[in-house]
Copies of this chain bind each other. A is one copy, B any other.
Amino acid sequence: MDAQLKILDIHEVPLVCRACDARHSGICSTLTPLQLTELNKHSQRRAVEAGTELIGQGQQVHSYSNILRGVIKLSKIMADGRQQIVGLQFAPDFMGRPFLGESLMAAEAATDAELCVLPRKILERMISESSELGSRLHNQALTELDEARDWMLTLGRKSAREKVASLLVLVAAHADPDRLGACAFELPLSRADIADFLGLTIETVSRQMTKLRKDGLIHIENNRQVYVPDLDKLAVTAGGD
């Protein structure tokens, strides 16, 4: 295989991960052409439908993924079945917890999704070879930590109404990052998922959604299509800040 690598002219080496394609802004852009070629031999695109469990809590980790499309939910389950979603990952996030053999939580596709799957061993070798890749993943970990701590404030100190508004603001931010006035998007989560993310019950989520609707802060169609006439106002009811 080494021989095969060497005879490739550098300009013929694909400059982006074959499975991910050029638009993808994940980790691939930090790799050298040689590393990409190596990765191309092992990475593969995978399409999954909503509800597919990608890995279970406590299972062995064999791969990492770039998320190309869709939303993945990360959740923890207690012995008696209580569940908490501890993170949402949107394209083009990198998904996975480097340097740990066993997953501390479950990952499940919240929507239909597409992934670029990278074998664990290969990626970990690349991290040790490319400090730019390492620092990129370091930065993603720090961003996720910031987000987790923001959410701790939401879970610990906000009312149900503020929690639901916070979730809508979060999703809106990912759907349309720089929109400040009105915006429209599709909710990637069911009411049950929202409840698990906010530490509430389905019924409470539903009631708060209706209240926000009656207060004119949001419009909803077909349970999932959300229109927010004034994102600032919604952000204020989410707890200001």
- A interface residues with partner B (beta carbon < 8 Å): 74, 76, 78-80, 82-84, 86-87, 97-100, 104-105, 131, 134-135, 137-139, 141-142, 144-146, 148-153, 155-158, 198-199, 239-241
Known: A135-B134, A157-B84. Contact between A239 and B148, CB under 8 A? no
| Closest 8 A/B residue pairs (Cβ) | A156-B199, A148-B148, A86-B149, A155-B155, A138-B138, A131-B131, A84-B153, A84-B156
**In the bound complex, how far is the Cα of B99 from the Cα of A235, in angstroms?**
27
Q: Which of B82, B105, B150, B156 contacts A149 (CB 8 A)?
A: B105
**In the bound complex, how far is the Cα of B138 from the Cα of A139, in angstroms?**
8
| Chain B residue contacts of A199, Cβ below 8 A | 155-157
- Nearest residue (CB) in B for A144 is B145
A157 contacts B104, C-beta separation under 8 Å: no
